[in-house]
Structure 1
Amino acid sequence: MALSHTHPGAQEAQPVTVLGLESSCDDSAAAIVRLNPDGSTQVLAERVINQNSDHAPFGGVVPEIAARSHAERMDHLAREVLEEAGLGFDALDAIAATAGPGLIGGVMAALMTAKGLALGSGKPLIAVNHLEGHALSPRLVEPLPFPWLLLLVSGGHTQLLSVEGVGHMTRLGSTIDDAAGEAFDKSAKVLGLGFPGGPALEKLAAQATDPSRFPLPRMLAHDKSCNFSFAGLKTAVKRSFDALDAPADADRADLAASAQAAIAAHLAERTGRALDLYAEQNPQGRVLVAAGGVAANRAVREALVKEAEARGFRTLFPPLKYCTDNAAMIALAGAERLRLGITDDLTVPARARWPLDSGAASDDPLLGSGKKGPKA
């Protein structure tokens, strides 16, 4: 495996400008970010192209379709953000790309494009963990000092992490089966809603007249850890819907609201437990960051804010465009690493699995393990 290299005393007293590329799932993205010496950032240009219409007929992301679309778009997106920013490669300090985790065919598109650009321009390459991009995304908004507690909650990931620094994160909890975003999407599919399901389910839930009508289970009710579980909830939503005789729009809205409330309550309960554990070790870092697409859900946000405020924590949600997959967070993570003197060889591999806390993933993989290592 290719190694990262650390160069002492690198780039600390001057701005760092990085081109970032992202293609880990179904959004193709490119961005240029400048990290200033005081920790503030400037997003000089950014582009995101989603593939919703390509995947909607299948009710979910089709990896082969996603990979092909990324491969067709990445070099064009890189050129577009350079033109928008009015910069040439000589103005860049490095080129960063998501190297995992994600759909391997998609990950390869951004990483291979970045390798080609780095080789052609002579600029350093930085392989970024997509999850670290989410973890550092609040620093796109403000120069937030370490540490903070992160709830990473999306279609593919649900984790609680203590973010102590670039490359230094400790897992407090993770899902033992499905991610929260999958629970939203599968519940939406049961109700006959479109893709992506999360926003559609939230919109339908807003029309409910009795949000507590369906008694859905409380997941891991007797478990005292900070882990999550959503597989049982998905099954319960389907059973509740199948038990309805000719369900009307009002029935569907009530069930959508009940499912959303159950997901939000489970996320909030486990996050509250993690806040207590985190506060014992970090009395000064009382900030809860929620990132990932599910963090855009209003019910989830309200539940998290309630838990945080009860414990004296400030809650920070990156803007919606930085909650979902984007390249600005990848460029920022690359800039943060470059400022610490960390770069990668051109032989660095794409990785379908890449845990932020490798020790926890090895000691307690939660989702099992395979030939390529722990899944989470």
Structure 2
Amino acid sequence: MVLYLGIETSCDDTAVALMENEKCLANEIITQDSSMFGGVVPEYASREHMDVLPKLIDSILIRNNVTLHDLSFIAATQGPGLLGSVMVGVQYAKSLAWSLNIPWIGIHHLEGHAIIAKWNSSLEFPFGILLVSGGHTCIILANELSKYEILGSSMDDAVGEMFDKVGRCMGFPNPAGPYMEEYAKKSKSAIEFTIPLKNDDSMNFSFSGLKTAAIRFWDQSDKSEQTKSDICMGLQKTVAKSLESRLENVWKSYNIKSWVFAGGVASNLYIREKITNLCEQNGKNIFIPEPKLCRDNGLMIAYTGYLYYKKGIVSQYNESAIANYKIDHIKFK
């Protein structure tokens, strides 16, 4: 029996999971309220992690009748993310593991998002990844654990970042994505926005122009609730079409049979349905984590750590948090 913790603190969510082999015993998230600031404040986020993380771990262990001495290893997000936030999780995991004389395993945040799709599924390497979140929008080829190749990425804003910036202008709390998804359901006539890089054959993305167009449309509109809904639906449709076009460009050069759609934006039911339909129409196997596992969570970090642990791969105690950690630069000493 292998009992272990997964800690995720890359941004403003404090997330911890407790697992026994491949069974999830707990997966809990405490989200900070940053609405008073209009967005995430790094210093505030890291201080909240310092306060919340020990209490959350203690609570999970007590409710599952487990002690720290029962643990085999501790996994934590090593990056990328807000440096202060990532440091809290890494330092806590390393210190706790060292005191217990057990390994700690530093996990790449994006790898965690992708690998959780393997949990309780038939997904096997190699596979393609369409990862769309608040901080990243990219297409990645996963050859094996820790071996990734970036095929395309956003040249400016990530999709989730674009949603947040537009949503803030329209008065939505942060993160705006879930609220905008609900508003889109009330749309009567979606606003038609230009699809970014429409005639471009590359695998890269761009969403800053779409962001600017949506904000300008809102500023010049009647600012009614209906207009707000129509903008939200228009953004969803345009993002979906942009993602579809990039996948189609990839498929012209890469014969990748299995695909993962991951990241916080993958929880958007409209967009995930469009990506699912596109993959199925093109004979691709599509794997999408359930919506609650698309957002940042401790389970994705724990399970990825477990796969490394089974291979005998662990991190050194002198390794540190890496704010700008590239997924094609994962190395274990």
Q: TM-score, normalised by structure 2?
A: 0.94
2:267–2:292 CA contact under 8 A, matched in 1? no
2:197 counterpart residue number: 220
- Give the corresponding residue for 1:10: none
Asked if the contact 1:305–1:315 (Cα under 8 Å) also holds between the matched residues in 2, the reply is yes
Partner of 1:239 in structure 2?
Answer: 216
Closer/same/farther in 2, CA of residues 143 and 90 from structure 1, 3 Å limit? farther
Whole-angstrom CA distance in 2 between matches of 1:322 and 1:22 = 12
Distance in 2 separating the partners of 1:185 and 1:59: 10
1:265 to 214, 236, 241: 241
Deviations 1:300-344 (A, max 9, x none): 112211220121112221112211001111111111111111111
Structure 1 residue 276 displacement after superposition: 4.1
Q: Deviation at 1:107?
A: 0.4
Q: Counterpart of 1:68 in 2: which secondary structure?
A: helix
- Asked if 1:176 corresponds to 2:147, the answer is no
Matches within 5 A, 1:298-313: 298-313=269-284
Residue 103 (structure 1) aligns with:
82
Cα contact 2:138–2:154 (8 A) shared by 1: yes
1:271, distance to aligned residue in structure 2 (A): 2.1
Matches within 5 A, 1:111-122: 111-122=90-101
SS of the residue corresponding to residue 34 of structure 2 reads: helix
Per-residue CA deviations over 1:269-289 (Å, capped at 9, x if unaligned) read 11232244332xx4xxx2221
SS at match of 1:357: helix
Aligned length: 330
Question: Offset at 1:167?
Answer: 0.3
User: Which one of 128, 131, 152 corresponds to residue 149 of structure 1?
Assistant: 128
Give the aligned partner of residue 71 of structure 1: 50
Per the alignment, in what secondary structure is the counterpart of residue 343 of structure 1?
coil
Corresponding residue number in structure 2 for 1:287? 258
**How far is 1:16 from its partner?**
3.7
Q: Give the Cα–Cα distance (whole angstroms) in 2 for the partners of residues 144 and 88 of structure 1.
A: 33
Distance 1:16 1:260, change over 3 A: same
Unaligned runs of 5+ in 1: 1-14, 36-40, 360-376
Displacement after TM superposition at 1:67 (Å):
0.6
Which position in structure 2 is the counterpart of 1:333? 304
Q: Distance in 1 between matches of 2:86 and 2:328?
A: 20
| Matches of 2:316 and 2:175, distance apart in 1 | 36
- SS of 2:254's partner is helix
**Does residue 296 of structure 1 match 2:267?**
yes
In the alignment, the residues of structure 2 paired with residue 49 and residue 207 of structure 1 have an alpha-carbon distance, to the nearest angstrom, of 29
- Deviation string 1:92-123 (CA, Å, 9 cap, x unpaired) is 22111111110011001111111111111000
Whether 2:300 is the aligned partner of 1:324: answer no
Moved over 3 A (4+): 275-278
Matched, 1:45 2:16: no
Bigger shift: 169-178 or 90-99?
90-99
Counterpart code for 1:232: G
Deviation at 1:32, TM superposition (A): 1.7
Contact 1:17/1:335 (8 A) holds in 2: no
Does structure 2 conserve the Cα–Cα contact (< 8 Å) formed by 1:104 and 1:351?
yes
Q: 2:4 maps to which residue?
A: 18
- The whole-number CA distance in structure 1 between the counterparts of 2:155 and 2:189 is 30
Instruction: Tell me how far 1:140 sits from its aligned partner.
Output: 2.3
- Render the CA deviation track for 1:61-98: whole Å, top value 9, x for unaligned: 11111111001111122222222332223432211111
Q: Offset at 1:22?
A: 0.9
CA contact (8 A) 2:17 2:26 kept: yes
Instruction: Determine the C-alpha separation between the residues in 2 that align with 1:16 and 1:44.
Output: 12
Q: Distance in 2 between matches of 1:113 and 1:247?
A: 46
Name the counterpart of 1:256.
232
Name the aligned partner's letter for residue 46 of structure 1.
N
Query: Given that residues 162 and 278 in structure 1 are in contact (C-alpha distance below 8 angstroms), is that contact kept between their aligned partners in structure 2?
Result: no
What do the CA deviations read for 1:137-181 (whole angstroms, capped 9, x no partner)?
Answer: 112232522122111111011111111211011111111111010
- Do the aligned partners of 2:123 and 2:258 also contact (CA within 8 Å) in 1? no
Compute the RMSD of aligned alpha carbons: 1.6
Query: What is the one-letter code of the residue matched to 1:27?
Result: D
> Is residue 195 from structure 1 mapped to residue 174 from structure 2 by the alignment?
yes
Aligned pair 1:353/2:324, yes or no? Answer: yes
Identity of aligned residues (%): 38
